[in-house]
Structure 1
Amino acid sequence: MFYQFYEFGHAAMAPWRATAENMRVAYSNPFNPLSYTAMGRSLAAGLEVFERVTRRYGKPAFELPQTQIAGVDVSVHEKVVWSKSFCDLLHFERCLPPHHGNDPKVLVVAPMSGHYATLLRGTVEALLPAADVYITDWKDARMVPLSEGRFDLDDYIDYVTEMIRFLGPDTHVVAVCQPSVPVLAAVALMEEAEDPLAPASMTLMGGPIDTRINPTAVNRLAEEKPLKWFEDNVVMNVPWPQPGVMRPVYPGFLQLSGFMSMNLDRHLVAHKEFFMHLVKNNGDSADKHREFYDEYLAVMDLTAEFYLQTVDTVFIHHALPKGEMTHRGHLVDPSKIRRTALLTVEGENDDISGVGQTQAAQRLCVNIPDSNRMHYVQPDVGHYGVFNGSRFRKEIAPRILGFINAHRSGSRAEQTSVVLPLRRPAAKRQKQVV
Structure 2
Amino acid sequence: TFDLDDYISYVIDMLREIGPGAHVVAVCQPSVPVLAAVSLMEADGDGFAPASMTLMGGPIDTRINPTAVNGLAKAKPIEWFRDNVVMQVPWPQPAFGRSVYPGFLQLSGFMSMNLDKHMTAHKDFYLNLVKNDGDSAEKHRDFYDEYLAVMDLTAEFYLQTVETVFIDHALPKGNMQHRGRAVDPAAIRNVALFTVEGENDDISGVGQTKAAHDLCRNIPDEKRAHYMQPDVGHYGVFNGSRFRKEIVPRMVEFIGKHQTV
Would you say 1:332 and 2:179 are equivalent positions? no
- Matched AA of 2:13: E
* Counterpart residue number, 2:24: 173
Correspondence for 1:395 among 236, 241, 246: 246
Shift of 1:280: 2.8
Moved more, 284-293 or 151-160: 284-293
Shift of 1:401: 1.1
CA 1:360–1:230 in structure 2 vs 1: closer, same or farther (change >3 Å)? same
- Matched AA of 1:367: N
- Matched AA of 1:211: T
Task: Show CA shifts across 1:164-195 (max 9, x none).
Answer: 00000110111111100000000000011111
Q: C-alpha separation between the residues in 2 aligned to 1:379 and 1:275?
A: 29
Task: Show CA shifts across 1:110-142 (max 9, x none).
Answer: xxxxxxxxxxxxxxxxxxxxxxxxxxxxxxxxx
Q: C-alpha separation between the residues in 2 aligned to 1:375 and 1:260?
A: 28
* Counterpart residue number, 1:259: 110
Would you say 1:220 and 2:76 are equivalent positions? no
Would you say 1:363 and 2:214 are equivalent positions? yes
SS at match of 1:267: helix
Q: C-alpha separation between the residues in 1 aligned to 2:115 and 2:95?
A: 31
- Matched AA of 1:348: E
Task: Show CA shifts across 1:234-269 (max 9, x none).
Answer: 001111112211110001111111111111122222
Correspondence for 1:275 among 113, 126, 132: 126
- TM-score, length-scaled by structure 2: 0.97
Shift of 1:221: 0.9
* Counterpart residue number, 1:12: none
Shift of 1:283: 2.1
Q: C-alpha separation between the residues in 1 aligned to 2:120 and 2:198?
A: 25
Moved more, 378-387 or 200-209: 378-387
SS at match of 2:122: helix
SS at match of 2:200: coil
- Matched AA of 1:335: A
Correspondence for 2:163 among 312, 328, 349: 312
- Matched AA of 2:254: F
- Matched AA of 1:324: N
For the aligned residue pairs, the C-alpha RMSD in angstroms reads 1.1
Unmatched runs of 5 consecutive residues or more in structure 1: 1-149, 411-434
Shift of 1:298: 1.7
Would you say 1:349 and 2:179 are equivalent positions? no
SS at match of 2:119: helix
SS at match of 1:320: helix
Unmatched runs of 5 consecutive residues or more in structure 2: none
Runs of 4+ in 1 over 4 A off after TM superposition: none
* Counterpart residue number, 1:249: 100
* Counterpart residue number, 1:409: 260
Matches within 5 A, 1:88-167: 150-167=1-18
- Matched AA of 1:356: G
Shift of 1:391: 1.8
- Matched AA of 2:69: V
The higher-RCO structure (CA 8 Å, 6+ apart) is 2
Q: Which has the larger radius of gyration?
A: 1
Q: C-alpha separation between the residues in 2 aligned to 1:154 and 1:275?
A: 45
Q: C-alpha separation between the residues in 2 aligned to 1:292 and 1:164?
A: 31
Shift of 1:390: 1.9
Identical counterparts, % of pairs? 75
Shift of 1:278: 2.5
- Matched AA of 2:65: N
Would you say 1:235 and 2:80 are equivalent positions? no
Task: Show CA shifts across 1:52-109 (max 9, x none).
Answer: xxxxxxxxxxxxxxxxxxxxxxxxxxxxxxxxxxxxxxxxxxxxxxxxxxxxxxxxxx
